[in-house]
Amino acid sequence: MNSKVIRVSFFAFIAVAALAIINIKCTPSVGQEIPDVVDYNFHVRPILSDRCFACHGPDEKKREANLRLDTEAGAYAALEDNPKAHAIVKGNPEASEVYKRIVATDTSIKMPPPSSNLTITENEIKIIKKWIAQGAKIKKHWAFIPPQKSELRKADKDWVKNEIDYFTFDKMKSVGLSPSDQASKETLLKRVSFDLTGLPPTVEMQDAFLKDESPNAYEKVVNQLLKSKHFGEKMALNWLDVARYADSHGYQDDGLRTMWPWRDWVIHAFNSNYSYKKFITWQLAGDILADKMKWHPKAKEMLLATGFNRNHKITQEGGVIDEEYRVEYVTDRTNTFGKSVLALTLECAKCHTHKYDPISHEEYYGTFAFFNQVPEKGLFGTIDASFADPPNMRIKDEDVKSIFNFINKKDTSKLEVMVMKDSSKVRPTYILERGNYDSHGKVVDFTTPKAILDFKGYDKNRYGLTRWLFDDKNPITSRVYVNRIWEQFFGRGIVKTTGDFGMQGELPTHPELLDWMASDFKQNGWNIKRLVKQIVTSATYMQSSVVKDEHKKIDPENKYLARSTRMRIPAENVRDHVLATSGLLNPEIGGPSVKPYQPKGLWEVATSGRGSLATYVQDHGKDLYRRGMYIFIKRTVPPPAMLIFDASNRDQCEVQRTRTNTPLQALAMLNDPHVLESARVMAQEELSKNTSIDLAINNGFRKILCRMPSKKESDILKKYFEEELVFFKKQPQKIKSLQKIGEYEHKTVKDPVALAALLQTFQMMFNMEETLIRI
């Protein structure tokens, strides 16, 4: 049920109907083998947490029979209603009440009770039995034990390129797999270009790399891409989802906001290789830091970075109760903090103590307190009252010429950005009973979940919070970030649930590797470019993505990394690829978001009619060809082509996108004017070069697929071109309407029939499966 990632739509053919019925009868395959040594963290806790902790876990208000199974004290203690019995008797399953209850057939004592709709499988019962027999050792949750660098594993010296590979080699061998061959040079170049810049390699780059036979040819390319100004754009994509960045306030009137200078800062931060520590510290506490260091030349930049915590939605609905929404914003910041940097579902402790993880109701509001100090209103004004509700900062033109030279401000109009600020007097924070904004419980002090690290000796403000986060003893911060970066490059985190490192999250597939990398990242100053380079220069990353029979059999999900994963590129990069290939792309960085072609009427049919965003006013000229990440995001009606390819709606913090494969995507690639216009412009350019059709097709293929076509492919393409020639010769009136598409200059060519046929041929290439795959 946790297959949120890489979900493919399977197809319902009648032939499989019978099979499906059989399928339904089987439980999904779980590892059927019982391990020799049962480990609490890896084998037992996932069962107990999922099936038992809701009633016998951290939440004391919901605890049944006063029995708590998530701590040693609770699990080994005598039962309250029967002091002679114990939930768990070390070494003796038959004497342990837990075991007796899960194997009971009498439904009045059976656990979990039938009313819970939960069951424990035979296999899981065996695991619990063996664990108790082996002494029932309870360990601290893995994510709360600080990571350590363990010894590198034994590996094939000829294969490994860096430390990562020792761990992955060992793991894949343990399941009976071997590394795949290194991917071809063309594949590698496409892969690393998309991964580091979100753009295809140009034909010139392809030629240069293919020609370069020096041993460090690949490393040179990697260095070149890491230096590219588009690196920051690519890295920013995921962070903009995390930060729920958008160009409108959200909620139903959904007016304009101007947070884009903050987005420009994110790109700048990645391009300047700010350490992760600085990147996060400035965003969470830049205002406090700037106050402490008014002399610092970058004090204003620190303040700008805090826009992170103001990217949440803000209501402009006339009748709302101010406090209700103010609390909502603080809640959003608190939950975003939990999900983005701690990978914990803090929000589960908003209404009551967390049911699975050791996060109390009080600790939730202790964390909430840090974000509860902003002098802000739930409802600042109705629509268009403000593009930047206070507290905000003014971006002055003279600053744009100096310290803010990364902000792409295009005119001299007034520009304000929302930022963070704390009121001079501390606002008391109450526990909110059941999470209701007006049900005040007792006052709480600033704190964080103790199970991670005690909040002692730090300043009681957001700066103190960042000190706690980056304290060397904090077990979670570096793991979470390393894991998320890992997911970007392998399509799956070492911990698959990148947003949940708690008890209900998945366990790491390579715990030692994750810990090694997390420690290494910390020891090397939280250096992001270094981490990225480490990943993309590993032999693990450089493998071929061909799916072999043994992969399908042993590891269809590619958990064990004996191959590279083919992944569809992110929504924004789909557009970037098409535009870059045709040469239409406007490579400008940052600036106000743009409004390219969009199907008519989408904003108009959904608007309340109020505000400047009631109608969609399309841009023209160069602004039509900006990268996907700069498309204007109106939260209530997000850009359709982006949503179709699984982009976030930016409603809330999201750390992970799904990757679906749907017919709507096919329709978008076939009929979106951007794609057609690109095909037209490419055809125009190729024909105006006066080269042969064969060469034109070949060039187009190299741009779109980033490799040379095979003989068979060339033949099919040529044949298709000729079929289309025949068609358009017969129906010349269709040529004109076909090439009308798009506002980009229409050049007259000598042979309009060939133009139409070539346009169709390029259009088909854009629709090839491989085109949108990071192979």
Partner 1 sequence: MENEFLKNRLNVNRRHFLGKAAVGLGSLGLGSLLMPNLFKGDMAEAGLPLGLPHFAPKAKRVIYLFQNGAPSQLESFDYKPMLNKLAGQDLPESIRNGQRLTGMTASQTNFPMVGSYFKFAQHGKSGAWISELFPNIAKIADDICIVKTMNTEAINHDPALTFLQTGAQVGNRPSMGAWLSYGLGSENQNLPAFCVLLSRGRGNGQGVYSKLWTNGFLDSTHQGVVFSSGEDPILYLNNPEGTDKTSRRRMLDKLAELNHLGFEENRDPEVEAKIKQYEMAYRMQTAVPELTDLSKEPDHIIKMYGPDCLVPGTYAANALLARKLSESGVRFVQLYHQGWDQHGNLTGEMPLQAQDVDRASAALVTDLKQRGLLDETLVIWGGEFGRTNYSQGKFGVDNYGRDHHPRAYSIWMAGGGIKGGTVYGETDELGYNIIKDPVHIHDFHATVMHTMGLNHEQLNYKHLGRRYRLTDIAGKVIPGLLA
Window 220 to 249, contacts with partner 1 (CB under 8 A): none
For partner 1, the binding residues in 6-65 under the rule CB under 8 A are 7-14, 16-17, 20-21, 23-28
Question: What is the three-class DSSP state of 696?
Answer: helix
Total site size for partner 1, rule CB under 8 A = 118
| Near partner 1 by CB under 8 A: residue from 182, 461, 586, 608 | 608
Residue 385 binds to partner 1 (criterion: CB under 8 A): no
**Are 580 and 196 a contacting pair, CB within 8 Å?**
no
**Are 534 and 540 a contacting pair, CB within 8 Å?**
no
Q: Which two tokens stand for residue 453?
A: 């690290």
Closest separation between CB of residue 547 and partner 1, Å?
4
Find the DSSP H helices in 583-662.
602-606, 640-644
Cα(677)–Cα(289) distance, integer angstroms: 49
- Whose Cβ is closer to partner 1: residue 503's or residue 580's? 503
Closest separation between CB of residue 638 and partner 1, Å?
6
For partner 1, the binding residues in 659-678 under the rule CB under 8 A are 660-668, 670-673, 676
Closest separation between CB of residue 26 and partner 1, Å?
7
Stretch that binds partner 1, among 150-158, 191-199, 388-396, 650-658 (CB under 8 A): 650-658
Residue 545 binds to partner 1 (criterion: CB under 8 A): yes
For partner 1, the binding residues in 685-724 under the rule CB under 8 A are 710, 712-713, 716-717, 719-720, 723-724
For partner 1, the binding residues in 431-460 under the rule CB under 8 A are none
For partner 1, the binding residues in 412-431 under the rule CB under 8 A are none
Cα(203)–Cα(206) distance, integer angstroms: 5
- Whose Cβ is closer to partner 1: residue 124's or residue 301's? 124
Closest separation between CB of residue 58 and partner 1, Å?
13
Q: Tell me the C-alpha to C-alpha distance, in Å, between residue 598 and each of 33, 601, 744.
A: 54, 9, 16
- Cβ atoms < 10 Å from Cβ of 375: 12
DSSP string across 143-208: GGSPP-PPPPPP--TTT--SHHHHHHHHHHHHTT--PPPBPPHHHHHHHHHHHHHSSPPPHHHHHH
Q: Is the peptide bond before 112 cis (omega within 30 degrees of 0)?
A: yes
- Whose Cβ is closer to partner 1: residue 4's or residue 140's? 4
| Near partner 1 by CB under 8 A: residue from 65, 85, 118, 175 | 118
Q: What are the strands, taking DSSP E only, across 533-653?
A: 567-568
- Whose Cβ is closer to partner 1: residue 131's or residue 329's? 329
Question: For strand 416-418 and strand 773-774, is the pairing parallel, antiparallel, or unpaired?
Answer: unpaired
Q: Which two tokens stand for residue 121?
A: 């499988």
Distance of alpha carbon 389 from the chain centroid: 28
Residues 124-163, mask of contacts with partner 1 (x by CB under 8 A)? ----------------------------------------
Cα(555)–Cα(175) distance, integer angstroms: 9
**Are 396 and 416 a contacting pair, CB within 8 Å?**
no
Residues 546-565, mask of contacts with partner 1 (x by CB under 8 A)? xxx---x-------------
Residues 489-508, mask of contacts with partner 1 (x by CB under 8 A)? --------x-xx-xxxx---
Residue 321 binds to partner 1 (criterion: CB under 8 A): yes
Closest separation between CB of residue 673 and partner 1, Å?
8
Residue 275 binds to partner 1 (criterion: CB under 8 A): no
Residue 612 binds to partner 1 (criterion: CB under 8 A): no
For partner 1, the binding residues in 586-605 under the rule CB under 8 A are 599-602, 605
Residue 254 binds to partner 1 (criterion: CB under 8 A): yes
Residue 83 binds to partner 1 (criterion: CB under 8 A): no
Question: What is the three-class DSSP state of 93?
Answer: helix
Cα(369)–Cα(390) distance, integer angstroms: 19
